[in-house]
């Protein structure tokens, strides 16, 4: 297990303070705010701690309200909304400096048999082995701030290999779609609840970027103010996360200084694991 994965698992192992009350911390890195995927994942951990172990998350919906401060812990308060015969619902509020920074609602279900179908893996996607990593692409890309380069140069728990390279190499207006191969940089424990949490963590990677492609822009442009506003996720099938996943993304619309993106995560064998949707702030600074 790499040191980065080990550190991520420690960050996701929340401290219990009291009934329905948990505390999480952030990695101490040179970054201005808490990574959104971390907040989603930690809130899901807090919710899971109050749910029977035979019930697994099938959907979550979250709103980002304030940027998280990496220097202080985050308190997660769980509201046990409902425990039904098949479904369980939880609401989680993430708090820093006495104010809410994020809210999550998640629904859990016992495993049931039923009708099944799925969209197929996108056609003509090259395998990840011959592609450059996102770190390599950012090292040579224009208009990437030095702080971002340093942040990506450190050891990370995830490895990303984008299929579409044009937006790293130019500022042409491009179709708002991309495919990204992604995998965890070490083995994952055989724990279905933890695997769902790790999926939630990585689901926030590169999704908002896709909404800038149609405009020939990038999230790191100095005149762009970008931040996630909300995030939804549906967990279709369990997976061990023991290899490459394909994150297929598109952005149907941007308007009102907001970009909307969708994503689907596939296993290497074509199994559809999860779907995501996110709206984020894409504001032009004056």
**Active-site positions?**
204, 228, 278
What does the radius of gyration of the chain's CA atoms come to, in whole angstroms? 18
Euclidean distance between CA atoms 210 and 190, whole angstroms = 32
Euclidean distance between CA atoms 282 and 215, whole angstroms = 11
Q: For residue 216, which of 248, 179, 171 has the smallest C-alpha distance?
A: 171
Euclidean distance between CA atoms 186 and 158, whole angstroms = 9
Are 197 and 12 contacting, i.e. CB atoms less than 8 angstroms apart?
A: yes
- Angle ∠(258,262,265) on CA atoms, nearest 5: 150
Euclidean distance between CA atoms 167 and 148, whole angstroms = 16
- Map residue 166 onto helix, strand or coil: helix
Euclidean distance between CA atoms 229 and 66, whole angstroms = 9
Instruction: Give the up-direction half-sphere exposure of residue 68: CA atoms within 13 A in the CB hemisphere.
Output: 30
CB atoms within 10 A of CB 243: 12
Euclidean distance between CA atoms 213 and 209, whole angstroms = 7
DSSP string spanning 227-252?
Answer: EEEEEEEEE-S-----S-EEEEEEEE
């Amino acid at each position: 297990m790499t040191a980065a994965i080990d550190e991520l698992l420690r960050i996701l192992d929340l401290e219990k303070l009291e009934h329905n009350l948990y505390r999480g911390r952030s990695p101490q890195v040179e970054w201005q705010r808490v990574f959104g995927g971390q907040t989603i994942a930690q809130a899901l951990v807090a919710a899971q701690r109050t749910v029977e172990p035979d019930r697994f998350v099938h959907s979550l919906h979250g709103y980002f309200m304030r940027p998280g401060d990496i220097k202080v812990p985050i308190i997660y308060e769980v509201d046990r909304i409902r425990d039904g015969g098949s479904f369980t619902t939880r609401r989680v509020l993430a708090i820093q400096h006495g104010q809410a920074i994020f809210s999550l609602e998640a629904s859990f279900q016992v495993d049931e048999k039923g009708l099944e179908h799925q969209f197929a893996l996108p056609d003509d996607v090259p395998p990840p082995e011959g592609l450059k990593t996102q770190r390599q692409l950012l090292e040579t890309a224009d208009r990437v701030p030095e702080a971002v380069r340093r942040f990506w140069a450190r050891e990370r728990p995830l490895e990303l290999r984008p299929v579409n390279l044009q937006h790293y190499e130019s500022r042409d207006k491009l179709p708002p779609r991309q495919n990204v191969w992604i995998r965890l940089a070490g083995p994952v424990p055989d724990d279905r609840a933890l695997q769902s949490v790790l999926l939630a963590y990585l689901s926030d990677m590169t999704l908002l970027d896709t909404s800038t492609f149609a405009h020939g822009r990038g999230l790191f442009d100095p005149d762009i103010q970008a931040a996630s506003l909300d995030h939804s996720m549906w967990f279709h099938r369990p997976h061990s996360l023991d290899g490459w996943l394909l994150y297929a993304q598109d952005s149907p619309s941007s308007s009102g200084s907001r970009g909307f993106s969708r994503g689907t995560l596939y296993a290497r064998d074509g199994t559809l694991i999860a779907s995501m949707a996110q709206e984020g702030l894409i504001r032009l600074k004056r």
